[in-house]
Amino acid sequence: MSPKVLCRKHLLGEHRELHAIWNIITLGRKGYSRHPETLRWQGKLAALYQRHEALVNEMEARGYSHRSPLDEAMATGEEVQDTFVDEPSAQYLILKSKRCDCDV
């Protein structure tokens, strides 16, 4: 899902959660290490890095300052995320049901 469709709450929330997943994987943290959302990024730090950059680009386009870059040297593994907890079509329906300002 494009970060452009996310409301402020979901854009910033995903950015915060992405950093948590990055730290769990790169620093070997235990909390939420077995969560399905964390597991789907194992071996795909390059894809996670790209998602981070897409979120940052959208944040900056909306006027937010970004001060939490990821270490690009650690962005290894697969560059495409093709494993989902919920398929993209279901993700749209879930987001739509939240009745927020997301453009879905």
Q: Per the domain annotation, does 82 fall within a domain?
A: yes
Amino acid at 84: F
**In-domain check, residue 62:** yes
Q: What percent of the chain has pLDDT over 90?
A: 99
User: Nearest CA to 70 among 8, 31, 15?
Assistant: 15
Instruction: Give domain status of residue 61, yes or no.
Output: yes
| Longest CA span, the chain | 38
Residue 6: pLDDT band with limits 50, 70, 90: very high
Q: Please report whether residue 52 resides in a domain.
A: yes
How much is the pLDDT for 17?
Answer: 97
User: Quick check: is 85 in a domain?
Assistant: yes
- The pTM assigned to this predicted structure is 0.95
Q: What's the average model confidence in pLDDT over 51-68?
A: 98
Residue 70 pLDDT:
98
Q: What domain range is 42 assigned to?
A: 3-97
Question: Residue 20: what pLDDT?
Answer: 98
Average pLDDT over residues 24-49: 97
Q: Is residue 75 part of a domain?
A: yes
Report if residue 104 sits inside a domain: no
Q: Which of 104, 87, 22, 26 is nearest to 56 (CA)?
A: 22
Q: Does some domain include residue 28?
A: yes
Q: How many domains, in total, are found in the chain?
A: 1
What is residue 83's predicted lDDT score, i.e. its pLDDT?
A: 96
pLDDT band of 66, cuts 50, 70, 90: very high
Average pLDDT over residues 93-97: 95
